[in-house]
């Protein structure tokens, strides 16, 4: 018998294994809990609720699937907090999770809308979508979503389906294990101050290639990079012509450790046609190359603004306090999303400068004719179309004031 505890998140109160009981004082959330529930992922679920509500403004969802559900909290929140009367299928291999998810469904009066099935997600996603394809699949695993992706794409409605993926294997996505990144995501990562952007783009690139091998195109709607995970929301549709054209969104990002310069190059372009200009005279590197990865857009502004409107019209107390700022920053950075962000603290370390306030440097750069924005990826980073040397000189000028 699992020792259970009641938790509240968003608009629901539900049961899961008593985390404190099973993990003791360490409060370490591990895969060995009898039923997995990580309260720290609430921000992820809050934003997922908002993005689904925003998506539902323009798209219809009849049925969704969460193949790795644990207590069921995520899907139960969608059912209770998002508009519409869509139904859901929830899977898990763990019998304790199945039992608790069923209890939660009853407790929340969702028996007519939610069905729990025990078994391996990779198989169930395919068999359970045979009669009716899913309109939304949300893969939120412990670690990488990669092994589930092909089945998930094949289970989605070819006329348009939403796919959300969480990845928590950050050591791999952030350059710690090159061979694992290459076999798991099909590209190299690099250790760099903007590595979370590389992580997101590796995940996005992999999702595009799995969609593409099934003749689907992708439309990235949003990404989230925070705490110790990355997440992406993608609309996919059967459209091989668009998928063909989207090969131009695969490329590499070169990064110089010596001067922090970055350069994005589509795979179709040769490096010698896109010469690397270092940001410090006579810089000798070393140079690193990340990818192949997705170098295209990461957001759809309508998706973000829709989520912001839903949030503004709702009671903010149901959401994590960080939500409004994250949405603001995403909306801002979308304008410059094709340029990798610059971590100002790392840049200042390199040049022995004092990091300015983000708002000061952004204002300065905007005043001298460049565009500059915050980024939700990192509080100490900005996006700008100003060359790196100009950013350095702007910081020096600000220090003189
Ligand atoms: C990170 S937890 C899910 C958390 C949940 N999505 C949430 O938001 O709270 C991952 C779950 O996947 C289940 N799982 C792992 N491998 C599986 C597989 N091959 N098929 C189905 N479930 C699996 C685990 O039992 C665990 O409950
Ligand atoms: Zn350099």
Q: pLDDT band at 26, cuts 50/70/90?
A: low
Q: Is the CB of 142 under 6 A from ligand 1?
A: yes
The residue ranking higher by pLDDT, 162 or 4, is 162
pLDDT of 29 > 90? The answer is no
Cα 249 to the chain's mean position, in Å? 18
**Looking at residue 25, what is its pLDDT?**
65
pTM of structure: 0.96
Mean pLDDT of the region 133-143? 97
Residue 332's SS3 state is helix
Nearest to 68 by CA among 131, 148, 5, 14: 148
pLDDT of 244 > 90? The answer is yes
Which residues pair with residue 66 across a beta bridge?
90
Cα 398 to the chain's mean position, in Å? 34
Report which ligand 1 atom has the smallest distance to the Cα of 147: 19
Q: To test the ligand 1 pocket, which listed residue (9, 16, 141) has its Cβ within 8 A of the most ligand atoms?
A: 141
**Looking at residue 71, what is its pLDDT?**
96
Report which ligand 1 atom has the smallest distance to the Cα of 70: 27
CA distances from 167 to 53, 348, 392 (A): 22, 30, 34
Q: Residue 277 and residue 50: Cα distance in Å, rounded?
A: 41
**Looking at residue 269, what is its pLDDT?**
83
Q: Is the CB of 92 under 6 A from ligand 1?
A: yes
Q: To test the ligand 1 pocket, which listed residue (2, 9, 33, 36) has its Cβ within 8 A of the most ligand atoms?
A: 36
pLDDT of 301 > 70? The answer is yes
Residue 21's SS3 state is helix
Report the relative pairing of strands 136-139 and 161-167 from DSSP bridges: parallel
**Looking at residue 140, what is its pLDDT?**
98
CATH, domain 4-248, list 3.90.1170.50, 3.30.1490.20, 3.40.50.2300, 3.40.50.150: 3.40.50.150
Burial (CB count <10 Å: 0-12, 13-18, 19+), residue 107 = middle
**Looking at residue 100, what is its pLDDT?**
96
Q: Residue 250 and residue 246: Cα distance in Å, rounded?
A: 8
Domain ranges of the chain: 4-248
Residue 330's SS3 state is helix
Mean pLDDT of the region 94-103? 96
pLDDT of 204 > 70? The answer is yes
Ligand nearest to the CA of 281: 2
Mean pLDDT of the region 349-365? 97
What dihedral do alpha carbons 353, 358, 361, 362 form, nearest 10°? 150
Percent of the chain whose pLDDT exceeds 70? 99
Averaged pLDDT of the chain: 96
- Residues 183, 243 contacting (CB under 8 angstroms): no
Q: Residue 365 and residue 384: Cα distance in Å, rounded?
A: 8
**Looking at residue 27, what is its pLDDT?**
63
């Amino acid at each position: 018998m699992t020792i259970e505890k009641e938790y509240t998140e968003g608009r629901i109160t539900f049961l899961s294994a008593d985390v404190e009981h099973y993990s003791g004082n360490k409060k370490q959330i591990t895969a060995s809990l009898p039923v997995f529930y990580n309260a720290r992922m609430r921000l992820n679920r809050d934003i997922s609720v908002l993005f689904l509500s925003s998506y539902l403004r323009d798209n219809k969802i009849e049925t969704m699937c969460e193949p790795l559900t644990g207590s069921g909290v995520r899907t139960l929140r969608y059912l209770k907090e998002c508009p519409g009367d869509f139904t859901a299928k929830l899977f898990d291999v763990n019998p304790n999770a199945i039992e608790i998810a069923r209890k939660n469904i009853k407790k929340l009066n969702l028996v007519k809308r939610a069905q729990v099935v025990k078994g391996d997600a990779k198989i169930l996603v395919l068999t359970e979508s045979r009669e009716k394809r899913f309109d939304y699949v949300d893969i939120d695993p412990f670690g990488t979503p990669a092994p589930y992706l092909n089945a998930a794409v094949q289970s989605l409605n070819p006329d348009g389906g939403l796919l959300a993926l969480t990845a928590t294997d950050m050591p791999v996505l952030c350059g710690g294990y090159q061979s694992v990144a290459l076999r798991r995501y099909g590209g190299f990562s690099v250790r760099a101050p903007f590595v979370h952007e590389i992580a997101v783009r590796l995940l996005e690139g992999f999702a595009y290639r799995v969609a593409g091998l099934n003749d689907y195109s992708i439309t990235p709607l949003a990404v989230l990079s925070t705490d110790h995970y990355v997440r992406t929301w993608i609309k996919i549709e059967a459209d091989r012509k668009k998928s063909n054209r989207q090969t131009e969104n695969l490329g590499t990002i070169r990064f110089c450790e010596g001067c922090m310069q970055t350069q994005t190059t589509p795979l179709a372009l040769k490096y010698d046609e896109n010469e690397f200009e270092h940001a410090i005279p006579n810089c000798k590197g070393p140079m690193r190359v990340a990818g192949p990865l997705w170098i295209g857009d990461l957001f759809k502004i309508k998706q973000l603004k829709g989520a912001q409107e839903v949030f503004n019209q709702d009671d903010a107390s149901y959401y994590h306090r960080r939500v409004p700022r994250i949405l603001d920053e995403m909306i801002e950075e979308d304008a410059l999303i094709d340029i990798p962000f610059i971590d100002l603290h790392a840049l200042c370390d390199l040049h022995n400068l004092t990091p300015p306030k983000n708002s000061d440097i952004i204002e300065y750069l905007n005043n001298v004719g460049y565009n500059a924005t915050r980024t939700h990826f990192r509080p100490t980073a900005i996006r700008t179309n100003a060359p790196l040397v100009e950013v350095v000189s702007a910081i020096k000028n600000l220090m003189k004031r």
